[in-house]
């Protein structure tokens, strides 16, 4: 099983300079490789392979001498990342690889091997860079794979180490109607479960918007290229980073709770990209970050042998009475509570949807009534 461990790095000035050179070189090779792939496809109808590109890198070093100071495997890692980007593009039919910019908020480069981790002294050695102080707060066991060194827009440095613990993924545990929970995500409440529990939406972005506007207004008044503008830019980035950290912490805790307490979690497939086109709700939907939450549920379920069940995006989970099955076609988004005309059951819109998500998911598994 593959797991990633992320640690904070504390480089000195020389380390920072070398890391910047590696980041710039990896970005240069990525863009160079992308340009060559596009040109070869336009000229011959076939895209040049990663291995052919790697063979061209030594010649590139003659033209650009500064590339000789960079770990050669990190340069080859850039072509591997591009190859993975094209694989994702052809698999999902969207997101054609783009040229990387130095203005991207997070910059990184990969270290495929030959790095060393010293847990006793809290240091990590990187090829061509040397030993760097780190906060190694968690130990790991297993085979070390590729490490990725990143720099955030606030000037913080991290290393993410991919570990293969050489263990098989646990077999999914059996589940039934009693050990399955349905979860409906929303804006007013972040998540509503089929047992009637409502988890408040913390709305970290909305709650920080007043401060954000002040910082962005200060930034807009600073002269471009000045040191004051750079400081104001970092202040905005720090607030965005704080919001992201708060959101991740909240989602990690909630996803861990749902996975640990249930054998299966039933979810609705949402068209988030389509929902973001509603300009009245764009900010609220982005603040909730449902896609990130679902990803956390998925990989944690895989870790612990739990099951994620899904229903189609067009299933009328909200408009169907979970007691008698009556379809209330007149229900609108403003109706938070409604009464079933047939069985007279009073429904909370979101709890009813969560119960139906669970029922629909189990029905597809032929587990209703078990």
273: pLDDT strictly greater than 60 = yes
pLDDT, average across residues 121-143: 95
Instruction: Tell me what percent of the residues of the chain surpass a pLDDT of 70.
Output: 98
pLDDT band for 369, please (50, 70, 90 cuts). Answer: very low
DSSP labels, 51-109: HHHHHHHHHHHHHSGGGGGS-HHHHHHHHHHHHHHHHHHHHHT--------TTSS-EEE
pLDDT band for 366, please (50, 70, 90 cuts). Answer: low
Number of H helices, E strands in the chain: 10, 14
In sequence order, the β-bridge partners of residue 339 are: 346
- State residue 325's pLDDT score: 87
322: pLDDT strictly greater than 90 = no
Nearest to 262 by CA among 224, 304, 217: 304
Report the range of poorest mean pLDDT among 90-94, 133-137, 156-160: 90-94
pLDDT, tens only, 24-81? 999 999 999 999 999 998 888 888 999 999 999 999 999 999 999 999 999 999 999 9
pLDDT band for 370, please (50, 70, 90 cuts). Answer: very low
Is 75 in contact with 24 (CB distance < 8 Å)? Answer: no
- State residue 45's pLDDT score: 83
Q: Among 241, 287, 350, 363, which one carries the catalytic annotation? A: 350
CA atoms within 13 A on the CB side of 228: 7
C-alpha distances out from residue 165 to 1, 3, 260, 365, Å:
6, 8, 21, 32
Q: Across all residues in the chain, what is the average pLDDT?
A: 91
pLDDT, tens only, 325-359? 888 888 887 888 888 888 888 998 899 999 999 99
- State residue 166's pLDDT score: 84
What single DSSP character describes residue 133? E
Nearest to 201 by CA among 210, 209, 192: 192
Q: Among 83, 268, 298, 315, which one carries the catalytic annotation? A: 268
Q: Among 63, 184, 315, 348, which one carries the catalytic annotation? A: 184
Q: How far is CA 73 from the centre of its chain?
A: 26
pLDDT, tens only, 137-178? 999 999 999 999 999 999 999 999 999 988 888 888 899 899
Is 342 noted as a catalytic residue in this protein? no
Domains and CATH numbers, the chain: 2-164 (no CATH), 180-202+251-364 (3.30.420)
Type and span of the H or E element at 20: helix 13-44
- State residue 364's pLDDT score: 73
Could you tell me the sign of the dihedral formed by the alpha carbons of 353, 365, 292, 173, in that order? positive
- State residue 168's pLDDT score: 86
183: pLDDT strictly greater than 80 = yes
In sequence order, the β-bridge partners of residue 232 are: none
pLDDT, tens only, 204-252? 999 999 999 999 999 999 999 899 999 999 999 999 999 999 999 999 9
Is 328 in contact with 315 (CB distance < 8 Å)? Answer: no
Is 184 noted as a catalytic residue in this protein? yes
Could you tell me the sign of the dihedral formed by the alpha carbons of 253, 256, 260, 263, in that order? positive
Q: Strand locations in 233-286, DSSP E?
A: 264-268
300: pLDDT strictly greater than 90 = yes
- State residue 275's pLDDT score: 76
Is 268 noted as a catalytic residue in this protein? yes
pLDDT band for 312, please (50, 70, 90 cuts). Answer: confident
pLDDT band for 1, please (50, 70, 90 cuts). Answer: confident
Question: Which residues contact residue 71 at a Cβ distance below 8 angstroms, ignoring those fewer than 6 apart?
Answer: 22, 111, 114, 126, 127, 128, 129
């Amino acid at each position: 099983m593959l797991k990633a461990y992320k640690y904070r790095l504390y480089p000195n000035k020389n380390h920072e300079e070398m890391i910047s050179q590696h980041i710039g070189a990896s970005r240069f090779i990525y863009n160079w490789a992308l340009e060559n792939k596009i040109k070869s496809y336009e000229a011959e109808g076939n895209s040049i392979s990663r291995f052919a590109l790697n063979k061209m890198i030594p010649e590139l070093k003659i033209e650009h001498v500064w590339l000789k100071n960079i770990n050669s495997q990190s340069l080859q890692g850039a072509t591997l990342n591009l190859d993975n980007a094209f694989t994702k593009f052809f698999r999902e039919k969207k997101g054609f690889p783009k040229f990387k910019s130095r203005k991207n908020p997070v910059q990184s480069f990969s270290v495929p091997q030959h790095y060393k981790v010293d847990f006793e002294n809290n240091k990590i050695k990187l090829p061509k860079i040397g030993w760097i102080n780190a906060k190694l707060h968690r130990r790991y066991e297993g085979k070390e794979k590729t490490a990725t060194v990143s720099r955030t827009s606030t000037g913080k440095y991290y290393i993410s180490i991919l570990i293969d613990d050489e263990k098989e993924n646990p077999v999914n545990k059996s589940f039934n109607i009693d050990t399955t929970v349905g979860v409906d995500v929303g804006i007013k409440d972040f998540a509503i479960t089929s047992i009637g529990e409502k988890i408040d939406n913390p709305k970290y972005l909305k709650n920080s918007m007043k401060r954000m506007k002040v910082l962005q207004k200060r930034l807009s008044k600073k002269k471009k290229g000045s040191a004051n503008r750079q400081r104001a830019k970092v202040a905005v980035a720090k607030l965005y980073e704080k919001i992201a950290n708060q959101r991740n912490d909240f989602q990690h805790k909630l996803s861990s709770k749902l996975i640990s307490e249930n054998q299966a979690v039933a979810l609705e497939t949402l068209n988030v990209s389509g929902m973001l086109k509603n300009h009245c709700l764009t900010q609220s939907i982005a603040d909730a970050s449902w896609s990130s939450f679902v990803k956390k549920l998925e990989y944690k379920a895989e870790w612990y042998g739990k099951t994620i069940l899904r229903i189609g995006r067009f299933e009328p989970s909200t408009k169907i009475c979970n007691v008698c099955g009556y379809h209330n076609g007149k229900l609108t988004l403003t109706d938070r509570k409604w009464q079933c005309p047939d069985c007279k059951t009073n429904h909370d819109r979101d709890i009813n949807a969560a119960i139906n998500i669970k029922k629909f998911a189990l029905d597809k598994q032929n587990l209703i009534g078990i």
